[in-house]
Structure 1
């Protein structure tokens, strides 16, 4: 069985509660870098996303044990929202994303 190559670096983003300087509650991003393969979104993914009013833009494949339920990720300076994950097998977890507006 061939070795899976992961050659892109993404930052998975989760959030924790914090307090601003003005003492207001805020969400503080917690970033964690992992290696991934960038893939094109399959046509079926595009159709599924369109059915709920979204446009699936990019898919990343990572090791399943590296994903901890993060809702966002950053890649090449762009912020993406995770719309779906799919565990293909023991070596591959697909993360399907749309570009986030911030």
Structure 2
């Protein structure tokens, strides 16, 4: 059975640009891709917790669509990509929710 990529995620790449007076500013660029969402396995959760990470979501996308982005957005929430595992034409991305500032 083939799964259809029906979840929308936005892969976020960050560039450092300079403003008019030379200040370096991070600028995020979002790119829409379709993905399958998977639950994070218990073993994956506990293995990551040992290193201080808290994986909360996992998505599978086509490998050609992943360009090393470090963040993604799903349903308006920003996540940090903590692992990307490529298996042929598919890449599994595991991410953790980014804590709000403050």
- TM above 0.5, yes or no, is yes
Q: CA deviation at 1:23?
A: 4.5
Gaps of 5+ in 2: none
* Structure-1 separation of matches of 2:3 and 2:88: 11
Show structure 1 runs of 4+ deviating over 6 A: none
In the TM superposition, 1:41-56 aligns within 5 A as: 41-56=40-55
SS in structure 2 of the partner of residue 69 of structure 1 = coil
The number of residue pairs the alignment matches comes to 100
SS in 2 for 1:10: strand
Compute the TM-score of the two structures, normalised by the length of structure 2: 0.88
Deviation of 1:47 after TM superposition, in Å, equals 1.4
Q: TM-score of the superposition, structure 1-length normalised?
A: 0.88
* Counterparts of 1:44 and 1:85, CA distance in 2: 16
Q: Deviations over 1:39-82 (max 9, x none)?
A: 10011210121110111101011011110000000000000000
1:66-85 to structure 2, matched below 5 A, reads: 66-85=65-84
Match of 1:62 in 2: 61
Is there any run of 5+ residues in structure 1 with no aligned partner, and where? none
In 2, the alpha carbon distance for the partners of 1:4 and 1:45 equals 22
> Mean Cα displacement is larger for which, 17-26 or 7-16?
17-26
